[in-house]
Amino acid sequence: MITAPARRPTQESAHRIWRSYLYWTHIYRRTWRASIASGFLTPTLFMAAMGVGLGTLVNHHGSSAHQLGGVSYLDFIAPGLLAASAMQMAAIEGMFPVMAGIKWIKFYQAMLATPITVTEVLYAHLLWMATRVAMVSSIFLVAMFAFGAPRSAEVLAAVPVAVLTGMSMAVPAAAFTATRESDQALIGVIRFVVMPMFLFSGTFFPVTQLPAWLRPLAYATPLWHGVVLCRSLSLGDASWASSLGHVGYLLAFIAVATLVARRTFSRRLAA
Amino acid sequence: MFPESPLIQARALTKRFGSFVAVDGIDFDVAPGEAFGFLGPNGAGKTSTMRMIACMSPVSSGTLRILGMDPITDGPNIRRRIGLVPQEDTLDLEMTVLDNLLVYGRYFDLPRKVIRERARRLLDFAQLTDRANDKVDPLSGGLKRRLTIARSLISEPELLLLDEPTTGLDPQARHLLWDRLYRLKQQGVTLIITTHYMDEAEQLCDRLVVMDKGRIAAEGSPRELITRYSTREVLELRFRVDDHAPLAAQLAGLGERIETLPDRLLVYTDDGESAAKSVADRGLDPVASFVRRSSLEDVFLRLTGRTLVD
Ligand SMILES: Nc1ncnc2c1ncn2[C@@H]1O[C@H](COP(=O)(O)OP(=O)(O)OP(=O)(O)O)[C@@H](O)[C@H]1O
Ligand SMILES: [Mg+2]
Closest chain B residue to A5 measured between Cα atoms?
A: B109
Closest CA to A194 of A215, A161, A165, A214: A165
Structure confidence by residue, pLDDT tens digits, A103-112: 999 999 999 9
DSSP B93-151: TTSBHHHHHHHHHHHTT--HHHHHHHHHHHHHHTT-GGGTTSBSTTS-HHHHHHHHHHH
Least Cα distance to B91 among B23, B139, B43, B156 occurs for B139
B90 in Cβ contact with B54 (< 8 Å): no
Scored b (16 or more CB within 10 A) or e, B172-207 reads: ebbebbbebbeebbeeebbbbbbbbbbebbbbbbeb
In a domain, A12, yes or no: no
Mean pLDDT of B236-254: 88
Q: Please give the residue range of the domain that contains residue A173.
A: 30-269
Q: Is the CATH number 3.40.50.970 carried by domain B8-226?
A: no
Q: 3-class SS at B271?
A: coil
Structural domain includes residue A242: yes
| Digit-coded pLDDT (tens) for A26-69 | 999 988 888 888 888 888 888 888 878 888 888 877 677 677 87
Q: What value does the mean pLDDT of chain B take? A: 93
Number of domains in chain A: 1
Rounded to the nearest angstrom, the distance between the alpha carbon of B84 and the centre of ligand 2 is 13
- The residues near B214 (Cβ < 8 Å, ≥ 6 apart) are B15, B21, B22, B23, B24, B26, B44, B45
Ramachandran angles phi, psi of B283, nearest 5°: 80, 15
- Eight-class DSSP state of B170: -
Predicted pLDDT of residue B54 = 97
Q: How far apart are CA A229 and CA A211, in angstroms?
A: 22
Residue B1 has pLDDT above 50, yes or no: no
Three-state secondary structure of A8-58: CHHHHHHHHHHHHHHHHHHHHCCCHHHHHHHHHHHHHHHHHHHHHHHHHHH
pLDDT, average across residues A4-19: 85
Backbone angle region of A135, left / alpha / beta, with phi > 0 → left and psi within -120 to 50 → alpha: alpha
Residue B201 above 60 pLDDT?
yes
Q: What is the pLDDT of residue A123?
A: 98
Indicate whether A183 belongs to any domain.
Answer: yes
B263 C-alpha to ligand 2 centroid (Å): 27
Chain B, residues 15-34, CB within 8 A of chain A, namely 17
What confidence score (pLDDT) does residue A56 get? 82
User: Residue B216's pLDDT is what?
Assistant: 97
Nearest-CA residue of chain B relative to A100?
B92
Q: Provide φ and ψ at B16, rounded to 5°.
A: -115, 140
Torsion, Cα of A13, A19, A20, A25 (10° steps): 140
Q: In Å, what is the CA distance from A42 to each residue of A50, A51, A132, A164, A166?
A: 12, 13, 15, 20, 16
Of A29-38, A48-57, A114-123, B294-303, the one with minimum mean pLDDT is A48-57
Is residue A136 pLDDT above 50, yes or no?
yes
What H or E segment, with its residue span, contains residue B59?
none
Domain-located, residue A73: yes
Interface pTM (ipTM) of the complex?
0.89
CB contact under 8 A, B106 and A19: yes
pLDDT per residue as tens digits for the range B124-176: 999 999 999 999 999 999 999 999 999 999 999 999 999 999 988 889 989 99
pLDDT category at A3 given cuts 50, 70, 90 is low
What are the Cα distances from residue B114, in Å, to A24, B121, B129, B156, B223? 21, 11, 17, 11, 41
Instruction: Check CB contact under 8 Å for B94 and A19.
Output: no
- The tens digit of pLDDT for each residue in B57-73 reads 999 999 999 999 999 99
Every domain of chain B and the residues it spans: 8-226, 231-293
Closest CA to B56 of B97, B24, B85, B99: B85
Which residues on A lie below 8 Å from B56 (Cβ)?
A: 112-113, 270
Evaluate: CB of B43 within 6 angstroms of ligand 1.
yes
pTM as predicted: 0.92
Amino acid at site B258: I
Its CATH class, for the domain covering B231-293, is alpha beta
The chain A residue lying nearest B76, using CA atoms, is A115
- Report the residue among B17, B84, B308 best suited for mutation to probe ligand 1: largest number of ligand atoms under 8 A from its CB: B17
Instruction: Using an 8 Å CB-CB cutoff, list chain B residues near A100.
Output: none
What b/e readout covers A142-169, taking b as 16+ CB neighbours within 10 angstroms?
ebbeebebbbeebbebbbebbbbbbbbb
Stretch A197-225: mean pLDDT: 93
Give the strand pairing for B190-195 and B159-163: parallel
Tell me phi and psi for residue A241, to 5 degrees. -60, -50
Residue A239, Cβ density class (10 Å: 0-12 exposed, 13-18 middle, ≥19 buried): exposed
Nearest-atom index, ligand 1, CA of B20: 5
Distance B38 CA to ligand 2 centre (A): 10
Chain A residues with a Cβ under 8 Å from any Cβ in chain B: 1-2, 4, 12, 15-16, 19-20, 22-23, 26-27, 30, 105-107, 109-117, 270-271
pLDDT at B4: 63
| B159-163/B82-85 β-pairing | parallel
- Ligand 1 in reach of B133 Cβ (< 6 A): no
Whether residue A134 is contained in a domain is answered as yes
